[in-house]
Structure 1
Amino acid sequence: MTDLPDELLPGTRRALLHRLAVAQSEGRTPSVVAGVVRAGRPVWSGARSMVDGHAPTPDVQYRIGSLTKTFVAVLVLRLRDEGLLDLADPLARHLPGTPADDATIAQLLAHSSGLAAETPGPWWERTEGSLRPGLDDLLETERPLKHPAGRLHHYSNPGYALLGALVETVRGAHWGEVLRREVLAPLGMDRTTLLPEHPHAGGFAVHPWADVMRPEPLTDTGLMGPAGQLWSTGADLARWAAFLATGDDKVLSADSLAEMRRPAVAPDADWTTAYGLGLQLRRHEGRLLYGHTGSMPGFTAGLWISEADDLAAFALSNATSGASAAQLAAQLIAVTAEHEPRLPEPWRPLPELDEDLLELTGPWYWGAAPNVLRLRADRVLELTQLGATGRGSRFRPEPDGTWTGLDNYYAGETLRVVRAADGTVGHLDIGSFIYTREPYGPADAVPGGVDPEGWRAR
C-alpha cells in the first residue's frame, strides 16, 4: 500500500515501547533492541538498557545465533537456482567423505537428515573452532545419525556446518566471503559480519536467583560458524526482514523464498511450530509467522514475519537466558497488527478485458460438487468450491495456453481448457479431474460416463 504512513501512530509506538520495556525488565537483560517493518519499510525501532539515560542504537551489533541459518539457506537456494545442484542431491555428490554422505541437501536444510543435534566433545558454542579443525570432528563417526533420514524434524547444528562447507566447495571461497559478496553487499547489510565490529554489545549470563551477571566468551566457532556465528544490527535485520518478505532478484526470487517457508516435514495435526528450508514457522495468537530464532552464550535473537499482516519484527538481547527475543518479536507483530490492522488493497477493475478468459468464469462442477472460477489480475484464475472446504487453488497462466496451480491440492498441477469441435469451451481438465458446466455433463467428458437415464427423483 503506497498510502501507509512512514511511522506508526503515537498510541502504537507507546504500546510497542511498553512491550519492549517489560521484556527488558522482567527478562533481566542488560539491553534489548527491537524494531517493526511494515510493507518493507522500517516504521518503528526501540531500545532499553540497564544504563540510565542510555540505550543502544540500531547500529550496535548483537550476535544473532541461529538466525545465521537463514543466510546459509539463501546461499544454498541460490546454488540450486543457478543449476549448480539439486536439493534432492545427496551431500556426497558435492562434498564427499563426511559422516552425512547420504543425507540430501533438502534434508540438511530442513533438519530432517537425522543427524545429531550437536557436535561431540565440548560444547561448540562456548569453545573456539580450533578444537574442531576438520569436518570429521563435527559428528560422531560411529553413529552420526540419530533418526532415519527424512522421517522427522530433528534440529542439527552440525548439519548447517556441512551446508556452509558445501557452499565453500561449490563456490571455491569461504562461506562468509560468499555471503558478503552475494547477499549482504547487494542488500546494503554492511554491518552484518562473522566477528564483532565496534560498536557491539557484550554478552552476559545473568544469575538465575540474584541480580548479578558475568560476561560470556565471544568465540569464533570456526567450521560451526554457519550454524550461528553471525553478528548483526537492528538496522541490518530490518533490511533482512524486508528481503525475506518480498525477495530481491539480485539475491533470491520471491518464489524461492516462498518455497523456503513451506513446511518441509509434515507437522503434527495441531502444530504450533514447523520448519521449512532454513526458515522456522510458528503460530502465535492466531497468526502464522515465519522467520527464525537465535541464541548463543550471551545473546538471544528473533525475527518473525506475518505475511497476512504485511508486518515483520525483530528483537536482540544480550543475555544468555531470561528475555526471549523471539517471543518479543512475535509480540511486537501482534501489538502492531492490533493497533493498526492492515488496510485491504482497494478494489480495481482489470486494466483490460480478455473475452476468452471472461468466458471461462462462473460455475463449474466436479461431478456434482459446485465450484466457481474467477478471473483475477495478470490472467490468474481462482477456483473455489462452494459451500465446503474443497480443492480450491489459484492458477498461473503459462505461455502454452495452460495454467499451473499455485497452492493447495492443485499446486503444480496443470489446468487445461478443452474446447468442442466448434471452438466453444467444453470442460476443464485439472490433473485428470474434469470440471463441466453442469453436474455430470456432458456425458462424453465425464470419466466413466453417466447413467443414460439422467437425474431422477426417488
Structure 2
Amino acid sequence: MTPPFEELLPSTQRALLHRIAVAQAEGRTPSYVGAVQRDGQLVWTGSRTSVDGHGPDADTQYRIGSITKTFTAVLVLRLRDEGLLDLNDPLEKHLPGTGVGEVTIAQLLGHSAGLGAEAPAPWWERTPGSLRPELADVLGEQPRMHPAGRRHHYSNLGYTLLGSLIEAVRGASWEEVLRREILEPLVMDRTSAQARAPHAGGWAVHPWADVMLPEPAEDLGLMAPAGQLWSTAADLCRFAAFLAEGDERVLSAASVRELRTPSAPPESDEWDSGYGLGMQLVRRGGRTLVGHTGSLPGFLAALWVSVEEGIAAVALCNATSGPLNGTVAADLVRIVADAEPRIPEPWRPLPEVDQSLLELTGPWYWGTQACGLRLVADRGVQLEPLRGGGRGSRFVARADGSWTGLDGYYAGETLRVVRGEDGSVSHLDLGSFVFTREPYGPGAAVPGGVDPEGWRGL
C-alpha cells in the first residue's frame, strides 16, 4: 500500500494558504476556512479572519446550504438498497397527496422532475419554516415549471419532497434518520441541523462599503433536507472520503458511484457541468470533480472530490456573497494534485489465474476493428480498441461465466464466450456484437456470412 501522506510540502502548504487568503481578502468575507484530504487522511487545514487573534479552525461550524442535498440523496439510496422503494417509483406510491405525485424519485434526485426552484414568497432561506407548515405551503399553487424528465432544473422543492419521503418510509424525522444512518456511522459528530459552538455567525457584507450586517439563521422546517445543515471542514472531509470510496455501514461503493453518475443532460451552454443523484459534477482543467456547493444567507460552502486522484477539498466562509467557493475548493484540489502528484501503487501480478480465462486474452476483431482483451482482478476483463477511439469497457464477472459491462458504451451489457461443438472458443458475443480472432476470417461466425473468395486486392 502507498504510505499515508502525513504532511504536505511546505511550498504546497503555502500555496494553499495563499489561495484562501486571496479568497478571504478579495471576497471580503469575515472568515474563511479551507481543508484538503488525501487518500482518506486530512493533510491540511488553514483559515483567515478579519478578527485578530480569533481565527476559526477545521472544527468550527459553518452552514453548508445545499451540500445538505447530498446527505438526503444518500438516505434515499439507502431505502432503495433495502428494497423499500425503487428510484423509478412515482412519488405518489410512497408519499400520496402532494399533487405532483406522478414524478419519479429518480427525477427528484436529479432535478429533472420539472418542479420550480424555490418556495413561494416570502424568501424561504431568510424566514422561519413555521411559515410553511405543510407541503402545500412549500409547493405553492403552480409547482410545475417544465415537463417531467425533459431537462435539468434545479429544485429545492424536490429535495423537500425527498425529505418527507424519507420520513414517510422510515417513520422517523429526517433529522433523526440522518443522525442514525450517516452521521453516527461516519463519526461526523460536528454536523447537525442546528448550530453548535464553536460556530461562525452569518454576515452580509455591503457591496459598496466595508461594513457588515448580521444574517438570520432560521430553522427551515420542511425545507431542511434541501439546505439546513451546519458542519465543519474536518467533518466534510470525512464525508468526502465516503463519497469517494463508499462505506458498507452507510452505502456501498457501487451505490455511491451511482450518485456520481450523470442523471440528466446539462443546459446547452454548460457542457462542463452536470448533476448525478444529489451530487454536482464538473470539469476543471481536465479534471473531473464531484461534490456539491451550498449557500444560505450569511454562508457559502463547497466540497469537491477528485476520485481518480484521491484528493478532496472543502471551502467554507461566512458571507452571503463574495468568494466563489466552488472555484476556490477546485483550486485547492488542483494545487495539491499538481504540486505533489499521486504516487501509483506498485504493479503486482494477479494472485491466481484461470487458464481458461488466460486463453481469451489478446486481440479480437469486431468486423475489422482491432480490440484487446485483458484480465483484471477478481476474474474481470477489460476490452478496448487497440488503435484510435472507439468503444471500450470494463466488465465484472458473473456466476454463470459471463461478464457485465461496468462503464462506457457497454455498461450493463452482457459479454459471453460462445464455444463450438468441440468445446473450442468460437467467438465472443457482446450484446449481439460478434468478436472473432481474425477479421472476417473464413468460417468465422460473422452475422451475414463472409464472402467465400476472401480478401482481395483492387
TM-score bracket for this pair, using the shorter chain length: over 0.9
Over residues 16-52 of structure 1, what are the superposed CA-to-partner deviations in whole Å (9 max), with x where a residue is unaligned? 0111111111111011111111111111111111111
What pairs with 1:51-200 in structure 2 (closer than 5 Å)?
51-141=51-141, 143-200=142-199
Residue 11 of structure 1: aligned partner:
11
Q: How does 1:321-336 map to 2 (within 5 A)?
A: 321-336=321-336
Matching residue of 1:226: 225
Superposition TM-score, scaled by structure 1 size = 0.98
Q: Report the counterpart of residue 45 of structure 2 in structure 1.
A: 45
Give the 5 Å matches for 1:49-448. Answer: 49-141=49-141, 143-267=142-266, 268=268, 271-443=271-443, 445-448=445-448
**Cα drift, residue 270 of structure 1:** 6.6
Q: In the TM superposition, what is the alpha-carbon distance from 1:369 to its structure 2 partner?
A: 0.8
| Residue aligned with 2:125, SS | helix
Paired residue type of 1:180? R
The answer as to whether partners of 2:118 and 2:156 remain within 8 angstroms in 1 is yes
Contact 2:2 2:343 in 1 (8 A): no
Which whole-Å deviations, capped at 9, do the CAs of 1:266-317 have from their partners, x for residues lacking one?
Answer: 2348711110100000111221101000000000000000122111101110
| Deviation of the 1:60 alpha carbon | 1.1
1:242 aligned partner, one-letter code: A
State the alpha-carbon separation in 1 of the partners of residues 353 and 132 from structure 2.
Answer: 64
Tell me if structure 2 keeps the 8 A contact 1:66–1:294.
yes
The superposition leaves residues 167-203 of structure 1 with CA deviations (integer Å, 9 ceiling, x where unpaired) of 0000000001000001100000111111111111100
How far apart, CA to CA, are the structure 2 residues paired with 1:33 and 1:125?
Answer: 23
Contact 1:67 1:228 in 2 (8 A): yes
The structural deviation recorded for 1:324 is 2.3
- Pair 26,184 (structure 1): closer, same or farther in 2 beyond 3 Å: same
Equivalent-residue separation in structure 2 for 1:43 and 1:245 (angstroms)? 16
Please give the alpha-carbon distance, in whole angstroms, between the structure 1 residues aligned to 2:445 and 2:55. 70
CA deviation string 1:77-134 (max 9, x = no partner): 0000000000000100000111321110000000000001101120100000010010
Quote the RMSD (CA, aligned, Å): 1.1
What is the aligned residue count? Answer: 457
Gaps of 5+ in 1: none
| Counterpart contact for 1:300–1:326, Cα < 8 Å | no
Q: Secondary structure at the match of 1:315?
A: strand
2 CA distance for matches of 1:396 and 1:414?
A: 10
**CA apart distance, 1:441:** 3.0
Is the partner of 1:187 in helix, strand or coil?
coil
Q: How far apart, CA to CA, are the structure 1 residues paired with 2:273 and 2:313?
A: 18
Aligned equivalents of 1:154, 1:443: Cα separation in 2 = 54
- Aligned residue number for residue 30 of structure 2: 30
- Give the drift of 1:361: 0.3
Q: Distance in 1 between matches of 2:367 and 2:323?
A: 56
Residue 442 of structure 1 deviates from its aligned partner by: 5.0
CA contact (8 A) 1:294 1:302 kept: yes
> Which one is further off, 417-426 or 275-284?
417-426
Q: TM-score, normalised by structure 2?
A: 0.98
Distance 1:269 1:95 in 2: 35
